[in-house]
Amino acid sequence: MALLEAQGLVKIFGKLTALNYAALTVGENEFHGLIGPNGSGKSTLMKCIAGAETPTKGIVSFGGHDITQATPAERARAGMSLKFQITSVLPALTLYDNVLLALQAQTSLLALAFSRTRGVLHDKVMGMLEQFRLADRAYEPAAALSHGQQQWLEIAMALAPEPKLLLLDEPTGGMSIEERRVTGELLQPIKASCSLVIVEHDLDFIRDICDRLTVLDQGQILQTGSVQHVQSCPRVQEVYLRRA
Amino acid sequence: MTEITHSSAPLTTRRQGASRRWTVLPILEVALLATGLVLPWLLQDYLTVYATRVLILCLFALSFDLVWGYAGIMSFGQAAFFGSAGYGVALLARDLGIVSMFLVLPAGILIGFAFALLLGGFLLLGRHPASVIFVALGTLTGSYACDRLARGWYYLGGQNGIPSIPPMTVGSYDLTEGVAFYYVALGFLIAVYLLCRFLMRSQFGLALAGLRENEQRIAFFGYKVQHLKAIIFSLAGAIAGLAGSLYAFHEGFVWPNVLGVVISTQVVLYVLFGGSGTLIGAVIGTIVIEAISFWLSNSYQDIWPIILGVLLLLVILFRPAGLVSLVVSQRERVGTFGRPQGRG
């Protein structure tokens, strides 16, 4: 059974149809890339999956349950995690507190009031920061990080609660070539524990880490399949790859 | 809690440097506490009465600071909880003769809490997060409606309010305005301050910091943001209720203004002036504004509100983080959550 299934998704904003019966299926431990020209509906599809937007029509199911009307918090509690396109770390808080904030989300309010899980979560927080090469800056404010490091911190925050599905919207946006390479390295190890849907413009990056690709154009699915299959599709080459 | 074992030497130095800098806030708190404890011995009686009123207003300012400074909820109607509790305990005293501190103060807290829960539930518990403007206007309207209701309701004394509230009692002792009431108010202020400090420095405080900084982000982590908001809003309502009850018995009467927009705005200014998001800022803001108002109204009877207004504007324009930011660094104001300060 697929972990995530989005079927017949339509999203209309006023007179604009951002998604036109789009569909997406992601299996367990699968890295799935979403590509397409600007305005093709990639981010809208991600938002409909994550709960930031409610689709006008269609169904999103996660782990076999219909979550189309679920709030973002309910989806997060079900095991879905999102990294926004625009970096949204909390700049005034330390890196440590940013990750702790993500980790403690499912702790009861009473336990939070008495800081009961603080000790238990310490090793996890430091482990995540270590994994993303940020441990030596754990007690600095997130605002002090470079843009690329803020992106890593945000991926660390999204991964901290050990989600079943991670949604990354342009994680390498604004990064240097070296930072992109490192980001790819940082993401590879998570394959053992979670699935990934990633929106990216950098095709080399996508080719390196993804098992399957879906190409969107004008809100519709143009092609979906293995990376090799999609790359060799003449229609995809015509619409997207040659343009990129 | 395990120690961090992989820190590099420069990092250790940096942390030690950071912890050395983080000492201003406790010093400020201890200095204010010491001043508060000895003040009645230094002041004339009428000034002790004034200082008691300021302490009660500090308590009220803490309630606003919790919702705005810590949780980012703009409550422009905090006086509704303050005043409704004041009216509630005044009615208990007038109509039922209940004046025991052990009954009227819990009743005032309960009134503030219940009213805040009701209004907060309506404004904050929708399926989608309410906008700042919606909450600000909703609370402002609530406060204004309470003011109008009190003015028009004969049972509540109309425009004149409820005069001659009998003194609150502790056992057989009448707690009238003066040194004893001062220390009772100070005791409650310290207790509430410590409770808020404990909460805001806990993991719950971290969740509130997330709520204030980026509500949408923490919703995507799985936080029930509306619930968090309703809880802190109700807790702040309870504190405002305690302040309102003390105020009613201290002043000996309540009138519609204690429910209205003027006091709701006044508490916003206290917190902005002192520094929102720091408990000590709310206390300092209240003390400084009230002290300046007192002095100016004696010295410049005609133009003192203008001078005070200009002063407030200057601080808000040039020190948006409030007076407290003159001596406390931003890092210390943000603070730590559930760990000793030396750990970062």
Helix (H) or strand (E) holding B170, with range, is: strand B168-170
State whether residue A157 sits within 8 Å of chain B by CB.
yes
CA atoms in the 13 A half-sphere facing the CB of B1: 15
Burial B231-246 (b: 16+ CB within 10 A, else e): bbbbbbbbbbbbbbbb
How long, in residues, is chain B? 344
Tokens of B259: 């429910």
Interval A175-218: pLDDT, tens: 888 888 888 888 888 888 899 999 988 888 888 889 999 999 88
pLDDT at A241: 57
Strand boundaries in A63-211, DSSP class E:
65-66, 80-83, 165-169, 195-199
User: Distance between CA B268 and CA B108 in Å, rounded?
Assistant: 22
Q: Is B113:B237 a contact under the CB 8 Å cutoff?
A: yes
Q: Is A93:B213 a contact under the CB 8 Å cutoff?
A: yes
User: Distance between CA B174 and CA B38 in Å, rounded?
Assistant: 23
A48 to chain B nearest CA, in Å?
13
Q: Is B183:B56 a contact under the CB 8 Å cutoff?
A: no
Per-residue confidence in pLDDT tens, chain B, 344 aa: 333 333 333 444 444 444 445 578 899 999 999 999 999 999 999 999 999 999 999 999 999 999 999 999 999 999 999 999 999 999 999 999 999 999 999 999 999 999 999 999 999 887 777 888 999 999 999 999 999 999 999 999 999 999 989 999 998 899 998 999 999 999 999 999 999 999 999 999 999 999 999 888 899 999 999 999 999 999 999 999 999 999 999 999 999 999 999 999 999 999 999 999 999 999 999 999 999 999 988 888 788 888 888 988 898 888 888 999 888 888 888 777 766 444 44
State whether residue B18 sits within 8 Å of chain A by CB.
yes
Q: Which amino acid is at A29?
A: N
Give A109's contacts in chain B (Cβ within 8 Å). 204, 227-228, 231
State whether residue A114 sits within 8 Å of chain B by CB.
yes
Helix (H) or strand (E) holding B175, with range, is: strand B173-175
Across the beta sheet with A65-66, what order do the strands follow? A16-26, A4-13, A57-62, A65-66
User: Distance between CA A101 and CA B266 in Å, rounded?
Assistant: 33
C-beta atoms surrounding A218 within 10 Å: 15
Select from B81, B82, B76, B79 the least CA-distant residue to B132. B76
Q: What is the pTM of this model?
A: 0.88
Find, in chain A, the residue whose alpha carbon is nearest to that of B197: A113
Give B208's contacts in chain A (Cβ within 8 Å). none
State whether residue A87 sits within 8 Å of chain B by CB.
no
Determine whether the interchain pair B2/A112 forms a contact, defined as Cβ–Cβ distance below 8 Å: no
pLDDT at B9: 38
Query: Which residues, numbered 192 to 221 in chain B, qualify as contacts with chain A under a Cβ-Cβ cut-off of 8 Å?
Result: 199, 202-204, 206-207, 209-210, 213-214, 216-221
Q: DSSP characters for B252-285? A: S-B-GGGGSHHHHHHHHHHHHHH-TT-HHHHHHH
Strand boundaries in chain A, DSSP class E:
4-13, 16-26, 31-35, 57-62, 65-66, 80-83, 165-169, 195-199, 212-217, 220-226
Give A119's contacts in chain B (Cβ within 8 Å). 1-2
| β A4-13/A57-62 pair status | antiparallel
Q: Is A138:A150 a contact under the CB 8 Å cutoff?
A: no
Q: Which amino acid is at A210?
A: C
User: What's the burial of B69, exposed, middle or buried (CB within 10 Å: 0-12/13-18/19+)?
Assistant: buried
User: Distance between CA A120 and CA A61 in Å, rounded?
Assistant: 33
> Which residue, chain included where needed, has tokens 């949408």?
B216
> Which residue, chain included where needed, has tokens 């300092």?
B284
